[in-house]
Amino acid sequence: MNTRILIALSTLTLAVMAVGLILALNMNEAGAAVDQCYEAVTHIYSDCGLTLIVGNQQFVSAGDAIKFCHNEEDQVVRGCWLQCAQHTFDCGLMAACIDKCFEYSTTCGFTTGFIYDVCELILNNPGTEESLTEDEARAACNQIGGETFECVTTCAYENWNDCPSMSTCLAVCAEQVPPPVDDDTTPDDDTPSEPPDQSEGEAIDHSGGSACGA
């Protein structure tokens, strides 16, 4: 065979191999990114039974959360919460870790997720004693926050795998909230003060030791 033909074939073969290697590397990098998102979201949704809610963005399905992960522009934040989800087995610690990554805009979502979805407990409105839906409880958490829901969040995160203990803990949160201040300046007549469960929603309430409201 002509020497020139051999050289040309060899050059072509090397070129094809180089292109193939580049494509393979790119596919591996893309696959690694996909696997990281999939692994992290699987831990949140399947292993921990939670939903990723960032501020007003609720990713109802795992597929939605994976898409969010792939499209997230802030690589620092994405790397942070991916590390939390991939390398923290304890669901409560993982939730607390992710909260820090998102500057605590995920806290109320995880708190109500543990209470409603994982333990199937219900929070009550203290004024009406009506049950709050998960969306209503999360909205109240986002609106009020502070010490009220800090106690509730601690109960949810520390007892995510022990629902009876979570229920007891939430009842303690309710008992720690002081009753509303009575602005009535009339002299005391030894009449018992208004009970918290009739206080127009100004205190945390619980029902059956398993719920507290906003």
| Per-residue model confidence as pLDDT tens digits over 128-163 | 778 899 999 999 898 887 677 899 999 999 999 999
119 CB burial (10 A radius; 0-12, 13-18, 19+): buried
pLDDT of residue 147: 72
- Taken in order 182, 184, 187, 192, is the CA torsion positive or negative? negative
**Who has greater pLDDT, 120 or 204?**
120
Find, among 117, 190, 122, the residue nearest to 160 by Cα: 117
pLDDT of residue 101: 97
pLDDT of residue 108: 95
Mean pLDDT to the nearest integer, 115-126: 89
Query: Per-residue pLDDT for 186 more than 60?
Result: no
**Who has greater pLDDT, 132 or 177?**
132
**Helix H or strand E encompassing 59:** strand 57-59
Query: Per-residue pLDDT for 171 more than 80?
Result: yes
pLDDT of residue 212: 43
3-state secondary structure of 50: coil
State the chain's mean pLDDT as an integer.
77
pLDDT of residue 125: 72
Domain borders along the chain are: 33-105, 106-179+196-214
pLDDT of residue 137: 92
pLDDT of residue 10: 55
Query: Per-residue pLDDT for 120 more than 80?
Result: yes
Q: How far is CA 44 from CA 38, 52, 66, 67, 113, in A?
A: 10, 7, 11, 14, 11
Mean pLDDT to the nearest integer, 157-173: 94
Mean pLDDT to the nearest integer, 102-128: 91
pLDDT in tens, 43-58: 999 999 999 999 889 9
Q: How far is CA 176 from CA 153, 170, 196, in A?
A: 14, 10, 11
With cut-offs at 50, 70 and 90, classify the pLDDT of residue 71.
very high
DSSP 115: I
Mean pLDDT to the nearest integer, 95-99: 97
pLDDT of residue 34: 53
% of the chain with per-residue pLDDT over 90: 52
**Helices 163-176, 146-158: crossing angle, 10 deg rounding:** 160
Q: What is the pTM of this model?
A: 0.69
